[in-house]
Chains A and B, each alone.
Chain A
Amino acid sequence: MTIDAAELQRRTAELLAAHPPATTDRLDFLKARFDAGLAWVHYPQGLGGLGAPRSLQVVVDAELEAAGAPDNDPRRIGIGLGMAAPTILKYGTEEQKQRFLRPLWVGEEVWCQLFSEPGAGSDLAALGTRAVRESGGDWVVNGQKVWTSSAHVARWAILIARTDPDLPKHAGITYFLCDMTDPGVEVRPLRQVTGEAEFNEVFLTDVRIPDAHRLGEVGDGWRVAQTTLNNERVAIGGMRLPREGGMIGPVSGTWRERPELRTHDLHQRLLKLWVEAEVARLTAERLRQQLVAGQPGPEGAGMKLAFARLNQEISGLEVELLGAEGLLYDDWTMRRPELVDFTGREAGYRYLRSKGNSIEGGTSEVLLNIVAERVLGLPSEPRTDKDVAWKDLAR
């Protein structure tokens, strides 16, 4: 049968009737929602979905929100939802899908991503972490990863490692699911400019990964990783922001409440940024409407760029607006938060943290290349490393 909006509403009502949110344990409700196929409706039946159009998820979400149902805390499990899950769905064995997707979605198991390395950031395929297969079939992994959000709370990781250094760099990589509780996995906090350690370094020393936790074919890891990375960048597309919903909110509020801080120069700059924030909000809203209408466009590729620049400019202005108070900072304590929380902190934190917005998830420079090549069809960058074995590349 085809699943349309009316059918989804019917099934959502059924779920709510059988598991009233007011009297049902949070985790039990989420498991029931998963089992009813209302977790991510575009996933297959039995894996939290119904094979319905992805765009109809908003129908379910709206009904459940109106009924006061708990959500699965999507920000906390964002890496699992946005990166691990679509990759497991596309490349996983039946056993892997059954084992991992449900605890991932309900939030029992948090995921992190072991991709970037000290020498392999934007040039991710240059990575040097080695996975060597033993005669028994297990893999033994050695290397160092970096910029790993949530590693300190994660139960599982998606990992890419080099399995054949004699091949060119994109060809010799394999994709694994790594148990973060295994001996040999060491997570060290990496303190940032904000004073916090929101992400980590991860050291892998003789970590044993069973071959059953390999995702995709040996040597096919780069292609598998593309699924992960493409999904990372679409995550921003579906959101709905109210006017002044982003960083322009606090600075506009300060402007209204504290006339003594106002200057003509700041007024001109604030108005320009207010307009740009409103324009970006409309662009995000238009993208959302396109997705709902089943007409996804390439616009999502630009949203991250736009928000990164705006966050940085607005938070920079906010510190200036505060004048003498802008010279202060709320708290330099080294904490290890599970989430990035822009609004729970003060202007100085927002200014410093927003510097990461043009780096995390692909630098703005790399994203501009992607827009130019994939959207505008301009020629790609010249490549000198294409046919050279990884072990022979200059490092």
Chain B
Amino acid sequence: MSAQPDLLYSEEEEALRAAVRDLLADHCDAPGVIARTESDAPHDLAAWKALSDGMGLAGLLVPESLGGQGATHREVAVVLEELGRAVAPVPYLTSAVVATEALLALGDEELLGRLASGRSIGALAVGLHTAPGAAVQAVHVEGGLLQGELSGIADAAAADVLLVPADDGGLYAVDASAVTITPQVSLDLTRPLATLTFADAPGRRLGDAEPAVRRGLRAGAGLLASEQLGLAEWALTETVRYLKERKQFNRPVGGFQAIKHRLAQLWLEVVNLRAVARGAADALASGEDADLAVAVAQAYAAGVAVHAAEEALQLHAGIGMTWEHPIHLYLKRAKADSIAYGSAGAHRTAVAELVDLRAP
């Protein structure tokens, strides 16, 4: 067995967290996010610009020589915790993690530089539900022109460049302006999906799709656990705060033992989720044991995030059911996250292979 992963946060990581949290407090308040989901432009591009231009966070995974920050998945995980806590509608996971990792596998310096600076937003044109290593849909390619349709592509509406698997086994870079992007009505309004229609769309072949897609999805799945951690922490903290104030039967509701036990149980799950999300981020950064660390994290994280959001709704009771209270944003994100980059069941199947616990 390899050395133990480093599961703590460094001082630098805590400083990064504080900076991102400040920025999101200014840019991403809940009423603003709710209003934006009802508009034609669900993405908060001002927040994206502040994160990428202002703080250089889109390039955390990209080497400095290519215009990035040369940081690791550990720092990205901290950013995602805060984005999850704010349920921020920015294409960070899809562009700065999944598309960027796919390009890192292929070494395309020009595109990496554009994504790292945040000047361009990238999206991997693979359905959001796809687990690392699963089969992906491809479009037909002939003479560098792409034909066909792909659906369930997260954050495509905000993307400038699409990374598209084609039926010759290649991954193609396609300018978003050459593709018809039709928004789908999505469960998660803060990470909307779209259908892409290719009709003689010109593409540039970057290299083999399979290893690049696998790498992108693995990093996406592993770091999604940190987004789920931030989301679950928000739900727990906000619910505890509310139940200390809210009174019924002349007592704070948080003083009833049935409620206390549920919140204590949820706290235990969040503590576990923090350890396993840190484990996945550290394993992705070091490359040690990463397949298993990611599969374990995703086999566990979705359940906690969904449970946290569902408990928050139930324990806020009537107010939790309303559109004006932000809990629904978290519930929708948590439920969508439970499918994104592979369900818990898909990741448990991966665990079974990796640790030799085979099915009958």
Chain A residues in contact with chain B, CB under 8 A?
A: 240, 242-243, 252, 255-256, 259, 262-264, 267-268, 270-272, 274-276, 278-280, 282-283, 285-286, 289-290, 293, 295, 299, 302, 305-306, 365, 368-369, 371-373, 375-382
Complex contact A305–B351 (CB within 8 A):
no
Which B residues are CB-close (under 8 A) to A293?
Answer: 8
Chain A contacts for B25, CB-based, 8 A: none
Main secondary structure of the interface of B (DSSP, over half): helix
B 229-240 to A, binary, CB cutoff 8 A, 1 in contact else 0: 000000000001
Nearest-neighbour CB distance to chain A for B221, whole angstroms, equals 14
**Would you call B39 an interface residue if the criterion is a C-beta within 8 Å of the partner chain's C-beta atoms?**
no
- Known A-B contacts: A242-B1, A271-B352, A378-B243. Give 13 more (CB < 8 A): A267-B359, A272-B348, A278-B296, A282-B7, A283-B275, A286-B278, A293-B8, A365-B261, A372-B264, A376-B263, A376-B267, A377-B240, A379-B254
- Report B269 CB to chain A, min CB distance, Å: 9
Q: Are A378 and B240 within 8 A (Cβ)?
A: yes
**Are A372 and B357 neighbours in the complex by a CB distance under 8 Å?**
no
Q: Are B272 and A279 in contact (CB under 8 A)?
A: yes
In the complex the two chains form, is B272's CB within 8 Å of A243's CB? no
Q: Do residues A275 and B300 form an inter-chain contact, with CB atoms below 8 A? A: yes
**Residue B248 CB within 8 A of the other chain:** no
A252→B356 CA distance, assembly (Å) = 9
Given contacts A271-B348, A286-B274, A376-B263, contact A264 B360 (CB under 8 A): yes
Number of interface residues of B (CB under 8 A): 42
Judging by beta carbons under 8 Å apart, are A267 and B352 in contact?
A: yes
Given the interface contacts A279-B300, A305-B268, does A270 sit within 8 Å of B357 by beta carbon? yes
Q: List 16 A-B contacts (CB under 8 A).
A: A262-B358, A267-B360, A271-B352, A272-B348, A275-B299, A278-B276, A278-B296, A282-B278, A295-B8, A306-B268, A372-B261, A372-B264, A373-B260, A376-B267, A378-B240, A379-B254
Asked if B65 lies at the interface with its beta carbon under 8 angstroms from chain A, I say no
Bound form: Cα–Cα A279–B264 in Å: 18
Contact check, A262 vs B360: say whether CB atoms are below 8 A apart.
yes
**A365 to chain B: closest residue by CB:** B261
Q: Chain A residues with Cβ under 8 A from B351's Cβ? A: 271, 274-275
List the B side residues contacting A373 at CB < 8 Å.
260
Interface residues of B in 236-280 (CB under 8 A from A): 240, 243-244, 251-252, 254-255, 257, 259-261, 263-265, 267-268, 271-272, 274-276, 278-279
Bound-complex Cα distance A88 to B119 (A): 65
In the bound complex, residues from chain B placing their C-beta under 8 Å from that of A365 are: 261
Chain A to chain B: the 5 pairs with minimum beta-carbon distance, closest first: A379-B255, A372-B260, A286-B7, A262-B360, A371-B264
* Listed residue (B5, B251, B255) with the most chain A CB atoms within 10 angstroms of its CB: B255
Q: Roughly how many angstroms separate A15 CA and B268 CA in the complex, as a whole number?
A: 42
Specify which of A243, A264, A289, A375 is in contact with B6 (CB 8 Å cutoff): A289
CB of A93, distance to nearest CB on chain B (Å): 39
Alpha-carbon gap, A276 to B296, bound state (A): 9
A285 to B293, CA, bound (A): 14
How many residue pairs link A and B with beta carbons under 8 A? The number is 127
Pick from B267, B358, B359: contact of A302, CB below 8 A. B267
Task: Give chain A residues whose Cβ lies under 8 Å from the Cβ of B271.
Answer: 283, 299, 302
Residues of A within 8 A of B243 (CB): 378
A289 CB contacts on chain B under 8 angstroms: 4, 6-8
Considering only CB atoms, which chain A residue lies closest to B237 in the complex? A376
Tell me the complex Cα distance, A218–B254, Å: 37
Rounded to whole Å, the gap between the CB of B281 and the closest CB of chain A is: 12
Alpha-carbon gap, A375 to B261, bound state (A): 12
Contact of A378 among B255, B274, B356, B359 (CB under 8 A): B255
A268–B299 Cα distance when bound, in Å, is 12
> What is the CB-to-nearest-CB distance from B312 to chain A, in angstroms, rounded to a whole number?
14
Question: What residues of chain A lie closer than 8 Å to B265, measured between beta carbons?
Answer: 368
Are B357 and A274 in contact (CB-based, < 8 A)?
Answer: yes
B35 interfacial by beta-carbon distance below 8 Å: no
Contact B275 A282 (CB under 8 A): yes
From A263, A280, A286, residue with most partner B Cβ within 10 Å = A286
Can you list, as one digit per residue, whether each of B274-296 has a CB less than 8 Å from chain A (1) or not (0)?
Answer: 11101100000000000000001
List residues of chain B with CB within 8 A of the CB of A302.
267-268, 271
* Chain B residues positioned under 8 Å from A299 (CB to CB): 271
B185 within 8 A of A: no
Interface 1/0 per residue, B81-108 and A, CB below 8 Å? 0000000000000000000000000000
Q: Are B4 and A285 in contact (CB under 8 A)?
A: yes
Q: Are B252 and A379 in contact (CB under 8 A)?
A: yes
Q: Name A290's closest neighbour in chain B (CB-CB).
A: B8
Chain B minimum-CB-distance residue to A292: B8
Given A256-B357, A377-B240: A286 touches B268 (CB 8 Å cut-off): no
CB-contact partner of A369 in B6, B260, B352, under 8 A: B260
Identity of the chain A residue whose Cβ is nearest the Cβ of B261 in the assembled complex: A368
Q: How far apart are the CA atoms of A292 and B242 in the complex, in Å?
A: 35
In the complex, B355 has a CB within 8 A of chain A: yes
CA gap between A185 and B50 in the complex, in Å: 73
Pick the residue among A259, A285, A379 that contacts B7 (CB under 8 A).
Answer: A285
Kindly provide the distance from the CB of B245 to the nearest chain A CB, expressed in whole angstroms: 11
Are B251 and A275 closer than 8 Å at their CB atoms? no
**Contact of A375 with B267 in the complex, beta carbons under 8 Å:** yes
Binary contact track B330-360/A, C-beta < 8 Å → 1, others 0:
0000000000000000001101100111111
As a 0/1 sequence over residues 68 to 84 of chain B, the CB contacts with chain A under 8 angstroms (1 = contact) are 00000000000000000
By the criterion CB–CB under 8 Å, are B264 and A376 in contact?
A: yes
If A263-B360, A271-B357 touch, does A371 touch B267 (CB 8 Å cutoff)?
A: yes
Query: How far apart are the CA atoms of A392 and B1 in the complex, in Å?
Result: 60
Please name all residues of chain A whose beta carbon is closer than 8 Å to the beta carbon of B300 when the two chains form the complex: 275-276, 279
Minimal beta-carbon separation of B302 from chain A (angstroms): 11
Q: Is the CB of B357 within 8 A of A252?
A: yes
Is there contact, CB below 8 Å, between A378 and B357? no
Interchain CA distance A8-B255 in the complex, whole Å: 47
CB distance from B68 to the nearest CB of A (A): 29
Q: Once the chains are docked, how many angstroms separate the CA of A275 from the CA of B280?
A: 13
**Closest chain A residue to B259, Cβ basis:** A378
A279 and B348 within 8 A (CB): no
